Each structure stands twice: as C-alpha cells, then as structure tokens.
C-alpha cells in the first residue's frame, strides 16, 4: 500500500464514524517531547468530534477537532510518528510506517460488533474498580459491606486509585528476582499503604515486604490490627521517627506522604542513601524556604504573605526535584489529585537511573539557589552524593 493511499483509506474509515479509539506512537525522533497521541470520538453540542490527547513526558494536552478538519492534523501527526493502532466497531487496524514511509497495513475483523461511546464524560476506568468489593477498603470504611463506595468517601477512593496508578507506573523500576522492600514514612491512617500492599501483593502477586512508620501509637496499633485481620502477613506498622529508623541498609521503594516541612527532606535523603529505585513523595507544610527567602528581585511577589508562602512551597518542591536529578534520578512533579479536593496535590516521583547530571543542570540549580539566597536542608543532606 502506498503512503497516500493509506492516508485516504484511514480517513475514509473515520468518515464512517465507527472509530472506538486509536493510538499513534513510535516518534520518528527520539528527542521528540511528544511521546504518543490518543484519539477518541466524542459528541460536542451534537457534532461528531475527534478528541486528540497529546501525551508528553510530564503533561497531557487535549484538543477537539471536527471530523472535516481532522485531515490536516493527521498529516502533521504522520510527520512525527510511525505507528497507528486503531479499533473500529468491526475491525482493528495496525499501521506501521518505515523511515521512508513504506506502509505495512494489517487488519483483523472483530468477531463481535463493538459499540461506540460518544459521551464526553465517560466513566473513569480505575485500576481498583468501583464495582468490586475490596476487603481492605471495606475494613477502612471506604466501601460498604457489599462493595459500594460510600458517597462521602468517593474523593478518598479517587485518591487511592490515583496513587495506585503511580505504583503501577513504577513496576518496571522494581527488582524482579528477589523480594521488594518498601517503606512508607508518615503512613498515618494508611489508606494508601494498604492500597499499595493490596495492589502489588494481591493483584500483581509480587513478593513484597512493606513497613509503615508513624509517630502516633494509637494509629499504628489500629493499622497493625487491620493488617492482621486481612492476613497481610508482609505488612507491618511501627511507631517511630524518620530520623530514628535505622533498621535498613537497602530499600527498593520509599513512600512519604504529607510529612511536614523538612521531614519530607529527611525521608528523601534516606531514600537516596538506601539507593531506592522508586521514590513517591507528597510534601506538606513547606516552611523552611519561607523563613530563609531573601530575594530582592522577587519583592514584587514576596512582599505579600500569601504569595510568599505559595512561592516558597513551589520553590521547595522544585529544588527537591532538581536535587534528586543531580544525584541520579529521573524526576517529575505531577498532580496527585484535583486541586478542588486538596491544595496539597503535588507528588514528586523519582526513578533511579544513575545518570550523571550535566553541567547545565548543576548551573541551573546553583543559579536558582543564589537568586533565592537559601541553604536547603536536603542540599546539605545530599552533598556527599552530588
């Protein structure tokens, strides 16, 4: 099949309005920040429309395009990508393009006719299904005895699922030939700790051992009772402070959720020293930089207490992410849950790669620290690794 013929045939199929979804992938240039495209049909104000989801390394963007205007967008996408997988109601199609645009077109007829869903607000598909009863969610009061998510707990259910998505994304970075060691600092009531254990141990069947650490004795005792009731034999909770926990020499994953101020930095430093392959951190109450901040160039912002507080918090997490990059981690700052549910919605995700930081990355960090005139706690903790 010729390249032009392929385009015409694919666009003709779209005109039939039988598309269910499509994925366009395999960037022609490895340096392309745009990693893949997803297409799905929706109906906006009664008009059949193709929603284009642009998946970058760190963010998603969406664009809605009317069917008669899609051909131009399709041309631009084919300039950047070499593979298309599309599911229609009656067939699935796989298209592979060579560097010189030679076309391999493979089509498989669908045995049972599929249905197109044009709803713009489709039901979210969770890794933990909201129609399934999970013993740990029932025990924690998120679900009723018959497995229905309680109305007042639905935000918590969404938060748990968002966290499980991060865990699922991290699987490729965890060891496969031995038991996986996981620590959760500041586990609190441990909704997410139980979710982590359930997903990795029960759903994925992995050999893991998880420890949750918190200062509240009563909370820890209750969490241990729940773990025993659920027969989660490789999950334990201990009373203790991050600084005082010296039971480990090597850890695979460190989770730190809402550890206040420099307690987050203590946990991040410990994770680096243990050589953790995965770090998931949701910071809280970032006061350290707010106290130190001395940047006359930013006075137009920082003269206002509210703005100063928010800026200092964002600067703190930016510094944390950059420091982790400087010591060999691939680091991202992601939205944990919607801002409407909580302002504490940033998650720092870091995967250890061992990649040496570039001189440019170091200069950017030093320049930023000099601008703010601060001396971050985490920088001092990691100085021997930089």
CATH of the domain at 257: 3.40.50.150
Do residues 101 and 33 touch, judged by C-beta distance below 8 A?
A: no
**Is residue 120 a part of any domain in this protein?**
no
Global confidence as pTM? 0.69
Q: Are strands 47-56 and 34-44 parallel, antiparallel or unpaired?
A: antiparallel
**Do residue 78 and residue 183 come from a single domain?**
no
Query: Which tokens hold the place of 150?
Result: 């309680």
**Do residue 99 and residue 236 come from a single domain?**
no
**Is residue 119 a part of any domain in this protein?**
no
Determine the pLDDT at residue 124: 58
Ranges of residues in the chain whose predicted pLDDT is under 50: 338-343
Cα Rg, the chain, nearest whole Å: 24
Scored b (16 or more CB within 10 A) or e, 45-73 reads eeebbbbbebbeeeeeeeeebebeebeee
C-alpha distance from residue 195 to each of 125, 165, 192, 235, 314 (Å) = 17, 11, 5, 11, 28
**Do residue 92 and residue 141 come from a single domain?**
no
Determine the pLDDT at residue 338: 44
Q: What DSSP state is assigned to residue 324?
A: H
**Do residue 173 and residue 273 come from a single domain?**
yes
**Do residue 182 and residue 251 come from a single domain?**
yes
**Do residue 334 and residue 255 come from a single domain?**
yes
Residues recorded for the chain: 386
**Is residue 118 a part of any domain in this protein?**
no
**Do residue 276 and residue 337 come from a single domain?**
yes
**Is residue 116 a part of any domain in this protein?**
no
Domain count across the chain: 2
**Do residue 308 and residue 239 come from a single domain?**
yes
**Do residue 184 and residue 318 come from a single domain?**
yes
Do residues 255 and 192 touch, judged by C-beta distance below 8 A?
A: yes
Give the span between the Cα atoms of 210 and 179, in whole angstroms: 10
Domain final position from 109, 125, 149: 109
Determine the pLDDT at residue 233: 94
Range of the domain at 28: 3-109
User: Which residues are paired to 109 by β-bridges?
Assistant: 91
Domain final position from 109, 127, 146: 109
Which strand ranges, in their side-by-side order, compose the sheet holding 103-109? Answer: 60-66, 47-56, 34-44, 19-27, 81-88, 91-97, 103-109
**Do residue 43 and residue 104 come from a single domain?**
yes
């Amino acid at each position: 099949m010729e390249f032009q013929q392929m385009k015409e045939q694919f666009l003709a199929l779209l005109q039939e309005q039988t598309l269910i979804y499509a994925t366009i992938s395999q960037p022609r240039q490895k340096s392309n920040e745009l990693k893949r495209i997803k297409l799905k049909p929706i109906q906006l104000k009664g008009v059949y429309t193709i929603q284009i989801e642009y998946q970058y390394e760190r963010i998603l963007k969406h664009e809605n395009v009317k069917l008669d205007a899609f051909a131009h967008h399709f041309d631009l996408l084919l300039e950047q990508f070499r593979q298309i997988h599309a599911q229609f109601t009656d067939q699935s199609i796989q298209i592979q393009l060579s560097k010189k645009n030679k076309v391999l077109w493979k089509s498989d007829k669908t045995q049972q006719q599929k249905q197109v869903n044009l709803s713009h607000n489709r039901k979210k598909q969770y890794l933990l299904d909201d129609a399934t009863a999970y013993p740990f969610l029932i025990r924690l009061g998120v679900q009723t005895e018959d497995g229905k998510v309680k109305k007042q707990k639905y935000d918590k259910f969404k938060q748990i699922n968002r966290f499980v998505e991060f865990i699922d994304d991290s699987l490729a970075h965890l060891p496969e030939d031995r038991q996986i060691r996981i620590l959760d600092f500041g586990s609190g009531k441990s909704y997410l700790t139980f979710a982590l254990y359930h997903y990795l141990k029960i759903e994925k069947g992995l050999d893991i051992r998880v420890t949750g650490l918190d200062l509240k004795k009563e909370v820890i005792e209750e969490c241990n009772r729940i773990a025993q009731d659920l027969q989660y034999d490789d999950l334990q909770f201990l009373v203790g402070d991050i600084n005082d926990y010296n039971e480990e020499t090597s850890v695979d994953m460190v989770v730190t959720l809402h550890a206040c101020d420099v307690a987050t930095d203590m946990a991040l430093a410990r994770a680096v020293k243990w050589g953790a392959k995965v770090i998931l951190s949701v910071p809280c109450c970032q006061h350290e930089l707010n106290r130190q901040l001395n940047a006359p160039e930013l006075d137009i912002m920082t003269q206002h207490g509210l703005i100063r507080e928010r800026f200092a918090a964002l600067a703190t997490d930016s510094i944390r992410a950059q420091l982790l990059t400087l010591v060999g981690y691939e680091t991202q700052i992601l939205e944990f849950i919607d801002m409407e549910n909580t302002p504490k919605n940033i998650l720092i995700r870091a995967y250890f790669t061992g990649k040496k930081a570039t001189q440019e990355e170091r200069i950017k960090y030093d320049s930023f620290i000099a601008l703010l005139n601060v001396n971050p706690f985490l920088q001092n903790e990691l100085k021997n690794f930089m």
